[in-house]
Structure 1
Amino acid sequence: MGTVQETSPGASLAERVEWLIRNLWPADAEPPRNNVETAGAIARATGEDISSTTVWKLRTGRQENPQLKTLTALATFFGVPIGYFGFAGEARPIDDDLTLQALRREVEQGLIRPEVLRALVDLSPEARWIVDEMILGAAAADRNRRVI
């Protein structure tokens, strides 16, 4: 669904669900324009009846303790382990894996050039540190710009 919005999922359930929708929407599913389409795509793919209201509540943080069947449907649809939602104590390694998966998709879609990633690997540790700081600064500035 376009470019990666955040480098990794946030801590709250709402941030995690939103990150999945923005970054790991299945390539074979039509990108959703609203919560009705999001719920419909998940229901069609998983067979689990999930309402647009449930999707809205999850995305806005109004439902912090959804049913296990809802989380299972989300995990199945997005291809993530159920522990991604925070109760397996393994969120950080899962977040890193999902970030790499989203990055790989960006490369496959031509939104990030593969030669840029190869060049990053070839940099010296000192030069890589400088690039790292520039990317982190640009990401923070972009997040702040979108919030204002």
Structure 2
Amino acid sequence: MGDGEQGQQDGRPILKKFDQRLNRLIQALYPDERTRPGFARLAAEIREATGGSISATYLWELSTGKKRNVTLEQLDVLAEFFGVPPGYFLDDEVAERVSEQLSMAAALSDVKVRDLALRSAGLSSVSLDAILAIVDEVRKVQNLPEVQRPDSDDRTG
């Protein structure tokens, strides 16, 4: 599936991204660094939630990239605990799709973003289009990337 040439030139790109992807999940599940569990507590939570076992040391080694030889069983346990498909750890497309969802969830955890969304409920389609146009313009002013809208929302006409 396209990992032939790239795999040869980059060494093992899937494994090199594993630690980044694991850390992204930990940060998404525990956004506040002050209350984020240590690896011992995280390993215990994983064990309680899934029945699978990953030691705190091994979890730390995976998250720092010191170990990359995760078994399929451990991959499945991590995927189950974090609520992502196992392919998140291995497939760039799946990882990107999940990362977009994580970004959306993080945005909705922001009180002001959530407040804006709640206040817009019940507004007419024309009013929502006007608000979205304003938000798009403010994003441009702040040099933020354009937000990709779902295909079902055809706003070109």
**Bin of the TM-score, shorter chain as denominator length:** 0.5 to 0.7
Aligned-pair Cα RMSD in Å: 3.1
Cα distance per residue 1:63-104 (max 9 Å; x no partner): 223011111111111111111112374322222122212323
Contact 1:120-1:128 at 8 Å conserved across structures: no
Amino acid corresponding to residue 64 of structure 2 in structure 1: T
1:139 maps to what in 2?
Answer: none
Count of residues in correspondence between the two structures? 117
Q: Which has the higher contact order (CA 8 A, sep 6+)?
A: 1
Bigger mean CA deviation after superposition, 82-91 or 63-72? 82-91
The runs of at least 4 consecutive aligned structure 1 residues that moved more than 4 Å come to 116-120
Amino acid at match of 2:142: V
TM-score when normalising by structure 1 = 0.64
Aligned to 1:91: 95
**Structure 1, unpaired ranges of 5+:** 1-10, 26-30, 135-148
Unaligned runs of 5+ in 2: 1-15, 121-129, 146-157
State the identity %.
32
Alignment pair present for 1:54 and 2:55: no
Give the structure with higher Rg (CA): 2
Change (3 A) 1:86 1:102: farther
8 Å Cα contact 1:48-1:70 kept in structure 2 = yes
Q: Does 1:22 align with 2:10?
A: no
**2:28 touches 2:102 (CA, 8 Å); kept in 1?**
no
